Amino acid sequence: MAINFAAPNDSTTMTNSTNSELLDSLMDEMRAAVTPVSVFVGIEMVIGFFGNLLVLYVFLFRYHHCNFRYFVLSLACLDFTSTVTTMPAEILSQQFWYTYPFPTVCTIKSFFNMFTISGEALCLFVIAVDRHRKALVLCFFIFATAILITLPVPFLFGTHNDVKLYAGRNVTVRVCEKDMAYVNSNMPFNYALSVQGILATSLLIMFILYVKIFRKISGKKTNFKRDAGFVSNSDTPRKCEKRTSVFTINEVEMPGTLAGNTSDNTSVGYATDNDSACSDAKKTAAEPVKRTTRHHKSKMPGSARRKTYISLVLTVVFLLTTALYLVLLTFITLGILETLTNMQRAFYFLGFRLVFINHVINPLVYGCLDPQFTKVLNDVKKCCRRKNT
């Protein structure tokens, strides 16, 4: 579809210009409109690059072993991949919109763009659904499924030549959108619509599950404080007998992936064989019970809630930005960009690439809501200060 762009004031000069000169003029106008968006993506890229490197370091070498750790590492790998593939290629695409120089880079950008988005959606979905599965197996499943979803992308999306009407002249351009073989096909639109349905369903399910998990953990906070009391020295043998039931971590009914190390099943409370044994042991048993109760009271509910907060925040941000991305992607496959002016296209790119926020926000959320992550950062700062002094 040809678009008649506004002609420059010197129409005579433009009439005598070659296709290359007209193309340069067209690109100058496009760059002037889209450069602020490219700068925004560049800032996201830099912050995401160093932030995710930091996340990888902390959760690989300084974080305790738990399912949550492996899922965070999966997210960090996907985010870091995006900062070194999709984001720089997107800046290149914006700055050379009508003269895209590297068809292979366009294909790589399209592939990793869909791969990282699908991988993050699946990762957050698995965190919400899973409770007691093995994290490494699930991480393998996440990456394998994301690759399967992304396989059609290199065939459907790439560079193709088009003709634009600019200053009363037809100008041949090359853009990074649909592949040349599928310019006039509905397959890119059908694929985008299918992926949109899969991801939208996953996002809706995970959001509902996180709301339920959040409510459950908030309700357990009160119950845990009431049930996890300790036996004092003034307890009678009869009262001690009532404390013989063992209260384990599994009874809290929190997701294994959010509750930290699921292999820790230390009991809160103690059991006795008979009343006599209870009477003889109550003085020595009271203090260990007190310490164990305090340990789990401070560790398990608080840790589970914080990790639920983290996952819920990441899910909400991902839900909003990805929904916007999928809607705009659907319109792109329908050819909406051809009907927009350069300035309108720049705003369209800004909304379309808000999805990159997901590759930047994770380190910030961990720094605000994860005390262990913050502690490691403080230790690194102290270490750097000592070296400087």
Q: Which domains does the chain have, with CATH numbers?
A: 4-214+301-388 (1.20.1070.10), 223-299 (no CATH)
Strand arrangement, sheet containing 157-166: 4-5, 157-166, 169-178
CB atoms within 10 A of CB 206: 24
pLDDT on residue 226: 53
For helices 103-129 and 67-84, angle between their N-to-C axes, nearest 10 degrees: 160
The answer to whether residue 258 scores a pLDDT higher than 70 is no
Yes or no: say if 20 and 51 are a contact pair by the CB < 8 Å rule.
no
The answer to whether residue 136 scores a pLDDT higher than 50 is yes
pLDDT on residue 301: 53
List of residues 6+ apart from 323 with CB closer than 8 A: 200, 203
List of residues 6+ apart from 71 with CB closer than 8 A: 123, 126, 127, 135, 138, 139, 257
CB atoms within 10 A of CB 215: 10
Express each pLDDT in 46-63 by its tens digit. 999 999 999 999 888 888
Name the residue with higher pLDDT: 222 or 187. 187
Least confident of 137-146, 222-231, 266-275, 348-357: 266-275
pLDDT on residue 244: 40
Least confident of 255-259, 311-315, 322-326: 255-259
Task: Report which residue type is found at 290.
Answer: K
Region of 253 on the Ramachandran plot (φ > 0 left; ψ -120 to 50 alpha; else beta)? left
Name the residue with higher pLDDT: 355 or 245. 355
Express each pLDDT in 270-309 by its tens digit. 333 444 434 444 444 444 444 444 444 444 456 667 777 7
Average pLDDT score over residue span 150-155: 92
pLDDT on residue 240: 43
The answer to whether residue 370 scores a pLDDT higher than 50 is yes
| For the chain, percent of residues with pLDDT exceeding 70 | 71
Least confident of 150-154, 273-277, 287-291, 328-332: 273-277
The answer to whether residue 156 scores a pLDDT higher than 80 is yes
CB atoms within 10 A of CB 279: 15
pLDDT on residue 131: 53
Yes or no: say if 43 and 91 are a contact pair by the CB < 8 Å rule.
no
Closest CA to 311 of 257, 376, 377: 257
86 — pLDDT class (breaks 50, 70, 90): very high
Express each pLDDT in 199-242 by its tens digit. 888 878 877 887 777 677 666 555 555 554 544 444 444 444 44
List the structure tokens of 29: 């106008």
Average pLDDT, the chain: 75
Residue with tokens 């560790």: 299
The answer to whether residue 27 scores a pLDDT higher than 70 is yes
Query: What are the beta bridge partners of residue 165?
Result: 4, 170
Residues belonging to the chain = 389
Helices (H), the chain: 11-15, 19-57, 67-84, 86-95, 103-129, 135-150, 153-156, 187-227, 237-242, 275-333, 342-352, 358-369, 371-388
Name the residue with higher pLDDT: 288 or 117. 117
Helices (H), 228-370: 237-242, 275-333, 342-352, 358-369
The answer to whether residue 355 scores a pLDDT higher than 60 is yes
Q: What is the pTM of this model?
A: 0.71
